[in-house]
Amino acid sequence: MFTDNAKNRNRNRNRSTLACRNGIVCASQPLAAMAGVDILKAGGSAIDAAVCANAMLSLVEPMSCGPGGDLFAIVWSAKKGRLLGLNASGRAPLDWSLSRADDLGLREIPARSPLAWSVPGCVSGWQALLDSLGKMSIGRILQAPIEYARNGFPVSPIIAADWPFDPERHPTMVATFMPGGKAPQFGDVFRNPDLARTFEIIAGGGAEAFYLGGIAERIVRFSQEQGGFFSMRDFAAHEIEWTDPVSAGYRGYDVWELPPNGQGIAALQMLNLLEHFDVASLGPDSAERLHLFIEAKKLAYEDRAVYYADMKFSDVPLEWLISKEYAAERAKLIDPKRAAQNVRPGEPADESDTIYLTAADSEGNMVSLIQSIYHGWGSHYAPAGLGFCLQNRGQGFSLDPNHRNRLEPGKRPFHTIIPAFVTKGGRPVFSFGVMGGDHQPQGHVQVLMNIIDFGMDPQQAGEQPRVHHSGSSDPAGRRAEGGGIVAFESGIPDAVRLRLACMGHRIQDGDRAFGGYQGIWREDDPLRYFGGTDPRKDGCAAGF
Which residues have CB under 8 Å from 285's CB, separation 6+?
464, 465, 491, 492, 493, 496
Q: Of these residues, 176, 354, 416, 423, which one is catalytic?
A: 354
Instruction: Count the helices and strands in the chain (H runs, E runs).
Output: 19, 19
The values of phi and psi at residue 224, to 5°, are -65, -35
Report the alpha-carbon distance of residue 223 to residue 221 in Å, rounded.
Answer: 5
Contact 251, 431 (CB under 8 A): no
Q: Give, in order, the Cα–Cα distances in Å from 93 to each of 87, 218, 220, 223.
A: 18, 16, 11, 11
Closest by Cα among 67, 470, 24, 89 to 309? 89
Crossing angle, helix 46-60 and helix 30-41, to 10 degrees? 150
Closest by Cα among 150, 141, 149 to 123? 141
Pairing mode of beta strands 485-488, 506-511: parallel
Report the alpha-carbon distance of residue 451 to residue 461 in Å, rounded.
Answer: 6
C-alpha triplet 380, 519, 413: angle, nearest 5°: 40
Q: Give, in order, the Cα–Cα distances in Å from 46 to each of 43, 125, 294, 400, 431.
A: 10, 15, 35, 42, 12
Which residues have CB under 8 Å from 351's CB, separation 6+?
315, 317
For residue 233, count other CB atoms closer than 10 A to its CB.
13
DSSP structure string for 318-348:
HHHHT-HHHHHHHHTT--TTS--S-------
Contact 90, 378 (CB under 8 A): no
C-alpha triplet 157, 418, 197: angle, nearest 5°: 55
User: Alpha helices, DSSP H only, in 348-406?
Assistant: none
Closest by Cα among 321, 232, 325 to 276? 325
3-class SS of residue 91: coil
Respond yes or no: is residue 358 known to be catalytic: no
For residue 460, count other CB atoms closer than 10 A to its CB.
17
Beta bridge partners of 369: 73, 357
Report the alpha-carbon distance of residue 51 to residue 367 in Å, rounded.
Answer: 10
Closest by Cα among 55, 15, 14 to 31? 55
Report the alpha-carbon distance of residue 526 to residue 253 in Å, rounded.
Answer: 21
Catalytic residues: 354
